[in-house]
């Protein structure tokens, strides 16, 4: 008994020193590990950036040179002059922005209806939309192409959808299938559910038309959700590759991802311009992220908790 108290007292006396030592050691290990991981994750960005600024002869040197002897912009010039990168950039921007606008408008319009308005088919229709989110894209790829090609009265088609090319080779072929994504509807509905309904009733008593209740009262309250949704829609639109490649044949309508792929395929040894092109393709999303980081994290946390 007595011995126990003594050893306990001894332990108490030595504890502070060993505990602080352990804490310091844990901190050191923590920072070493996290820094090594972060450097590994960041290294590809760093290396492509360095490569894009290096003079051509330094790109191919063994051993590798970590920093360029002088900074040159020739690769950026080359990327924009060998292929119309500016045009591709513009095309991608138009497509991504159109996708954002359509999804914000249609998504919040029907999200509001599903969350706030009473109608018989509310639950069944919403369930169908939700279930459709689970359908893998590969199932609808070829039939969607068929639907776009044989869309009645569009692009030289007759009423039966024959004779022309429909929406093929036009931006509509990319904008329309994604104009009101199920995710946008679901996301906006969840947000509208958190808003109180009494404002709606008050406005109705005052005789406010339904669309104005939505547009002037509720929509302005969803700005954070709209910001998050636009970021994700923009990123998806900007980064999409396979579908634009299927729909757009005209080189003048190519997106930046298609242009970059063609460039890296056709100019296989021009690593300088290739890295410059890749960085240009990443830049808009990177800027968006740095400006609106808060909304990015909120959006992913949302999918994590509600999904």
d(CA 166, CA 173): 9
Min dist. Cβ of residue 156 to another protein (A): 15
Min dist. Cβ of residue 132 to another protein (A): 5
Q: Please pick, from the candidates 140, 194, 197, 216, the single residue that binds another protein as defined by CB under 8 A.
A: 140
Residue numbers 245-264 binding another protein by CB under 8 A:
246, 257, 260-261, 264
d(CA 239, CA 257): 7
Q: Check binding of 97 to another protein (CB under 8 A).
A: no
**Region from 74-82, 93-101, 114-122, 218-226 binding another protein, contact rule CB under 8 A:** 114-122
Q: Check binding of 157 to another protein (CB under 8 A).
A: no
Residue linked to tokens 């990015």 = 296
Q: Check binding of 117 to another protein (CB under 8 A).
A: yes
What are the structure tokens assigned to 64, written together? 């590798």
Residue numbers 272-301 binding another protein by CB under 8 A:
274-275, 277-279, 281-282, 285-286, 289, 293, 296-297, 300-301
Q: Are 219 and 105 in contact (CB under 8 A)?
A: no
Q: Please pick, from the candidates 45, 162, 251, 294, the single residue that binds another protein as defined by CB under 8 A.
A: 45
What are the structure tokens assigned to 220, written together? 């302005």
Q: Please pick, from the candidates 80, 183, 187, 271, the single residue that binds another protein as defined by CB under 8 A.
A: 271
Q: Which residues have a Cβ under 8 Å from the Cβ of 36 and sit 6 or more positions away?
A: none
Min dist. Cβ of residue 2 to another protein (A): 26
Q: List the alpha helices (DSSP H) in 213-270.
A: 223-239, 242-247, 256-266
Q: Check binding of 242 to another protein (CB under 8 A).
A: yes
Nearer to another protein, 45 or 73 (CB): 45
At 233, give phi and psi (nearest 5°): -65, -40
* CA end-to-end distance (rounded Å), the chain: 57
What are the structure tokens assigned to 45, written together? 């960005």
């Amino acid at each position: 008994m007595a011995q126990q108290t003594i050893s306990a007292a001894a332990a108490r006396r030595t504890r502070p020193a060993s505990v602080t030592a352990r804490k310091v050691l844990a901190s050191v290990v923590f920072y070493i590990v996290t820094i090594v991981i972060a450097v590994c994750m960041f290294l590809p960005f760093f290396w492509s950036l360095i490569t894009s600024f290096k003079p051509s002869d330094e790109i191919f040197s063994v051993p590798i040179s970590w920093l360029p002897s002088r900074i040159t912009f020739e690769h950026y010039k080359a990327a924009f002059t060998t292929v119309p990168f500016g045009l591709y950039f513009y095309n991608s921007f138009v497509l991504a922005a159109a996708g954002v606008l359509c999804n914000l408008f249609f998504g919040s319009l029907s999200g509001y209806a599903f969350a706030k308005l009473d109608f018989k088919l509310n639950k069944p229709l919403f369930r169908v939309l939700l279930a459709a989110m689970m359908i893998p894209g590969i199932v609808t790829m070829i039939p969607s192409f068929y639907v776009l090609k044989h869309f009645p009265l569009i692009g030289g088609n007759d009423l039966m959808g024959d004779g022309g090319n429909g929406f093929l080779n036009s931006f509509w072929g990319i904008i329309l299938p994604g104009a009101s994504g199920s995710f946008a509807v679901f996301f906006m509905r969840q947000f509208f559910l958190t808003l109180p309904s009494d404002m709606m009733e008050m406005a109705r008593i005052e005789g406010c038309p339904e669309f104005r209740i939505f547009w002037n009262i509720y929509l302005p309250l969803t700005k954070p959700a709209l910001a998050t949704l636009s970021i994700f829609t923009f990123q998806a639109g900007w980064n999409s590759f396979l579908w634009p490649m299927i729909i757009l044949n005209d080189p003048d309508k190519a997106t930046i991802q298609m242009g970059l792929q063609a460039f890296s395929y056709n100019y296989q040894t021009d690593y300088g311009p290739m890295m410059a092109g890749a960085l240009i393709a990443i830049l808009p999303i990177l800027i968006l992220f740095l400006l609106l980081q808060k909304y990015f994290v909120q959006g992913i946390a949302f999918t994590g908790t509600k999904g």
